Each structure stands twice: as structure tokens, then as C-alpha cells.
Amino acid sequence: MTGTRSSSATRAVFTPGQLGPLTLRNHVIKSATFEGMTRGGAVSDALIEFHRRMAAGGVGMTTLAYVSVSSDGRTYRHQLWMREEALPRMRALTDAVHAEGALAAVQLGHAGYFAGKAAIGTTPVGPSRVFNPAGLAFSRAAGEADLDRIAGDFARAGTLAVSAGFDALEIHLGHGYLLSQFLSPFTNRRRDGYGGDIRSRAAFPRRVLRAVRAAVSAASGGDRVAVYAKLNMDDGFAGGLSPGDGVEVARMLEADGTVDALELTGGFTSKTPMYLMRGGVPLAEMIAHERSAIRRLGLRVAGRQFMRAYPFEEAFFLPHARQVRAAVSLPLILLGGITRLDTMEQAMAEGFEFVAMARALLREPDLISRMRQGQASGSACDHCNTCVTEMEVRGTRCVFVPEQDWMTGPRWRAGQPGGAS
């Protein structure tokens, strides 16, 4: 066992990694997975413990998932959004992560036409007028004043994130959220300078990243905080963003110099939700947990068509990611079905600077420490995806891990600020 521990500890993935101005203790990032632990739009004790546990388990950095840059960018009423009142609890989260030796990132985004009309109290805004079947409402096309405001909201959110102690900002350009909606011809039907070919469709996301970079540099007194983008390489359906366009966007962002890295992803939440996860489709559980009678009926009638299954494959985004790797010299974060140590080593060997993991760490938060010690070579996750259905019930978690074993202290209610019930 001693020899195994020694060889594992010296693997490239466990050496320090550089992300812009940051030095991570290793090359593993806990990717953003919406936690469902923000009842009232506040950081709960459960959410702090979730990320503390990831940090204690050995990752180099853990990512607080989907924080909206404004109240009108939320998909749910209880979603966290960036504002002064949220900063003390966010600071408690970053302090807890830092105390375990890891760094903390925050994913900043705007839902665009995904935004829940009931949650935000107004008509959702997107690049074009589009119907959102989940929210049962049409969006309106963003005007110039909307674009000015949203770009400013991203910049302000970045400044507040620096104040909250986050080391890195992940700007969400994937999964069909607002900036991804601008990139995708499926949702961007504009005929002005923000629509048309991929260069025009990328204009607003690039504008947002320039604003964030400038704001963060000013707030941190220079280059102390990393900024990276979570970028769709492919929407996963005909008429969406193509892999070729995804490569072109990566080239543009590299030329702009606004990001320190790209985290490569794919899939479109309202069209190909399982494309970005692969594996099991827990439709029965989704129907059981759905509170809206209309959406529950919709899942029963059309769930199999909407929730199209994609077989799980280890490192399933790697083929597309290799195309981006060949096109840019920016640091890249490989995401998508990474569960084995040999896959991580392969990613390092192929020139990817970091790997991002999600479901494997929900099953085993201490997986990276155990891998480093030579006690594990892969995850026990079976890719059933039932963890996703727990999001609005007890918070995103692996259903095969007893709740009391996952969280320290008394049992908690996922959405309640302050934690324990």
C-alpha cells in the first residue's frame, strides 16, 4: 500500500495547478451543480457544509452553483441572487472552504427566457421572443437598455463576489442560460448586431465578459481573482450551437483576453437536458417531486421525448473538447463524466489543465483524498441521476448515501437558511 500511495501522490493531477493568478493545490475542481439549499434566496448552513465537505474531501476548488446576477435572472423564487444582503453568508461559505485548504468559485449567470415569471414578477427577457414550456410564458426580446442593465448587473455581481471572498468567478455561457441563448441560433433570431452569424451572436457574451473583467480587476486591486467561462461547445440538437461555432467562440474569447480559462460543456436545458449529464433518466422521481400539476401532467405526457436518454460514457465531452484544445492555447477545464483516476491523468497528458467533477463527488465527497492516498481509482457513482430529483426536496445529494452520513450535525432541511430543522 505504501508504494501505491507514493505513486498516486506524485501523479500530475495531484500537483499544484495554475488558474490565472491562482494556485490550486491540485487539478480537480468541483463543478457547479445547483444545490437547492437557498430557501429565501439565502446561503443556508447546509449549503456551507456542502462546500466545506467538498473542500475537506480534497478538491482544489469548489464552485457555488448558479448565483443570478439580478433578481430577474432567477428560475425559481428561492434561488440565490447577488446582492449586498447575501454577502455575510457567502463570506461564511468562502471562509469555510478556505479553512479546509481549497479555493472557492462562484458561478454567475442570468436565466434569460428560462426565468420563472412567477418568481421574478415580470416578463422574462431573452435575445428573442421565445416560449418557455417550463415557465409557461413567452419572453420578450431584450432592447439596448436591457442589455446595458444586464451587462452592468454582471459587472456589479463580480464586484460583490470579490467582496464575499470568492477566488474565482465562473461566467455561465452554457446550458441555454441567457449568454448561451445569445450564442445559439435556436433562441437568437435577432437581426441587429447581436444576431446572425456566430461573431454577431457572440457579441453580447463578449461584452459581458469585458465588463466583468474590468470590474473584478478594479475591485481586487489588480489580477487577484480568476475569471473563467463555462462555455457550450454544442447544444446537442440540430438548429442549436454547433461544435464548429463553439470552437469559434473559444477563439474569440482567447483573443479578447477576458478569461483565464474555459470550462467546456454542452447541452441545452430546455431541449436536451440529459445531454449534459448522460446515464439514467429518473422520470418517475421527477414526476413524483413536481409540485406544479400542469408540469407534472406535461412530464407524464411528453417526458420521454423531452428527457431523451443519452448513454453514459466516461469523459463524454472529450471528443468535442479535443477540437477546442487544438484551436486555442487558453487553459481548459475538462468536464463531463470524469469518474476515474486514469481519465484524469489522460486529460493532463492531452493538455487539459484541470478536470471538473460533480456526480462522482456527490457520491463520495472524499474521493480525491482517497485517490491521492492510493485507496481508490474510481467513483462508485452509477450515473442514475436520481441526485438531480432531490434538488427541490432535500437538496442535491446522492440518494445512496444516508443523509446523516453526508452532513455533519443534526438533520437539515435543504432550503432553510440557518440549517437544521
Q: How many of the other CB atoms lie within 10 Å of CB of 62? A: 29
DSSP 88: H
Q: Compute the distance between CA of residue 36 and CA of residue 39 in angstroms, rounded to an integer.
A: 8
Q: Confirm if 110 and 178 have CB atoms less than 8 A apart.
A: yes
CB burial readout 261-271, b (16+ within 10 A) else e: bbbbbbbbbbb
| Number of residues that make up the chain | 421
- Output the CA–CA distances (angstroms, integers) from residue 362 to 39, 165, 286, 382, 387, in the order listed: 21, 24, 19, 11, 8
For residue 138, report the phi and psi dihedrals to the nearest 5 degrees: -90, 145
The verdict on whether 177 is a catalytic residue reads yes
Q: Compute the distance between CA of residue 228 and CA of residue 263 in angstroms, rounded to an integer.
A: 7
Q: Cβ neighbours of residue 297 under 8 Å, at least 6 residues apart?
A: none
Which is catalytic among the residues 177, 194, 228, 275? Answer: 177
- For residue 345, the Cα-to-chain-centroid distance in whole angstroms is 23
Q: CB burial class (10 A; 0-12, 13-18, 19+) of residue 219?
A: middle
Q: CB burial class (10 A; 0-12, 13-18, 19+) of residue 295?
A: middle
- Domain ranges for the chain, please list them: 2-400
Grid cell listed for 368: 480525491
Which CATH architecture best describes the domain 2-400? Answer: Alpha-Beta Barrel (3.20)
Q: Confirm if 63 and 144 have CB atoms less than 8 A apart.
A: no
Q: Compute the distance between CA of residue 242 and CA of residue 408 in angstroms, rounded to an integer.
A: 44
Listed in order, strand segments (DSSP E) in 95-148 are: 103-109, 125-126, 131-132, 137-138, 140-141
Tens of each residue's pLDDT in the chain, 421 residues:
333 444 566 689 999 999 999 999 999 999 999 898 998 889 999 999 999 999 999 999 999 999 999 999 998 888 999 999 999 999 999 999 999 999 999 999 999 998 988 889 999 999 999 988 766 778 999 999 999 999 999 999 999 999 999 999 999 999 999 999 999 999 999 999 999 999 999 999 999 999 999 999 999 888 899 999 999 999 999 999 999 999 999 999 999 999 999 999 999 998 998 899 899 887 677 667 676 776 666 667 766 667 788 899 999 999 999 999 999 999 999 999 999 999 999 999 999 999 999 999 999 999 999 999 999 999 988 888 888 777 767 778 888 887 655 554 333 333 333 322 2
Q: How many of the other CB atoms lie within 10 Å of CB of 103? A: 23
